A = this chain, B = another copy of it.
């Protein structure tokens, strides 16, 4: 349940696929789990030390003297299964884009539009990333056992990205209509209205939500 256990889960999971160094662990987590998971550098080494203390992973000197490969112990595999079986803790959402859109009337239509365009670009980039991930997964014969499950996570990324693109397109159309409506109200000023600081009425509104 505590959040640090999720870090342990990610590390044990990665090591269950293949033993590796802490450095490699970080790169795999970034590159392979990156679209739905992240661990920072200063998190991985302390977590590895703790897992070693509990005999859930073992380090073996290999290559240079300063390089250790970490591997799951049998107890580590059991622990991984235990951790995976615990209910996922729902993350507290903190979506900076939607926060800005919500207060879009203060931000202004043009800046809002740029935010949405940017979000659409990011979603498109994710879509191609998912495509790359799917190809390299299917090329890797050693992952045959895991592939069906990993494909579910790739598909989730694609669904999410496509939803973002569809939403962005609708939002852009909506914003364009709002801009037109503004122009109809004030046909004398077809250029950027620049009404920043103009409506000096931040005063009492009376409901917000119900």
Contact = CB atoms under 8 A, between A and B. Distances in A.
Contact of A102 (B13, B38, B93, B97): B13
A208 to B, nearest CB: 5
Nearest to A150: B102
What is the interface residue range for chain A against chain B? 35 or more
B167 A156 contact: yes
Interface stretch (A45-53, A103-111, A185-193): A103-111
Contacts of A112: 149
Given A36-B93, A142-B206, A210-B140, A103 B74 contact: no
A35 interface: yes
A42 B210 CA distance: 25
Contacts of A155: 167, 170-171
Interface string A150-190: 11110110011011101100110011001000000000000
Contacts of A81: 106-107, 196
**Top 9 closest pairs, chain A to chain B, by CB:** A88-B96, A104-B149, A163-B163, A36-B98, A36-B95, A159-B167, A38-B92, A13-B103, A84-B107
Interface of A: 6, 9-10, 13-14, 16-20, 28, 31-38, 40, 72, 74, 76-78, 80-81, 84-85, 88-107, 111-112, 115-116, 136, 140, 142-143, 145-146, 148-153, 155-156, 159-160, 162-164, 166-167, 170-171, 174-175, 178, 196-197, 200, 202, 204-210
Given A10-B99, A36-B98, A140-B207, 7 more contacts: A16-B106, A72-B202, A74-B200, A88-B97, A91-B94, A152-B171, A160-B163
